[in-house]
Amino acid sequence: MKLTDAISQIRTDNQVEVKKARKADAGAASAGPSAADKVDLSSTSRDVQKMKEILEQTPPMRMEMIESLKKQIDEGTYRIDARDIADKMMADLLGEETHLFE
């Protein structure tokens, strides 16, 4: 066998393999979803889904309070009482329920 004959045969074999692969791919594509098909969500998508679940479980009264606070912040009328926060932090630290510095 001549070298040119071998090269010609390799090219023919490669063309046949490519055609077989294309037919197999086309058949698989038209067959619809297979067991190997899967969906992979990004971490951002999972975070958004988790936040939606949390919001759905949040009681309506809590949502009303959140909306009220948002409105106050947007309007610039939300005021923070530093002493009240300090009292609550100390009470939490000491495990007490009463205001310490009144």
The tens-digit pLDDT sequence of the chain (102 residues) is 444 555 555 556 656 565 666 776 666 555 556 667 777 767 888 888 888 888 888 777 788 888 999 999 999 999 989 999 999 999 999 886 655 555
1: three-class secondary structure by DSSP: coil
Burial class, 91, CB count within 10 angstroms (exposed 0-12 / middle 13-18 / buried 19+): middle
CB 12 within 8 A of CB 5: no
- What span, in angstroms and rounded, lies between the C-alpha atoms of 5 and 13? 12
- pTM, rounded to two decimals: 0.31
> Token digits for 39?
């969906």
- Positive or negative, the Cα torsion across 6, 8, 14, 19? negative
Q: For the chain, what are the domain ranges? A: 43-94
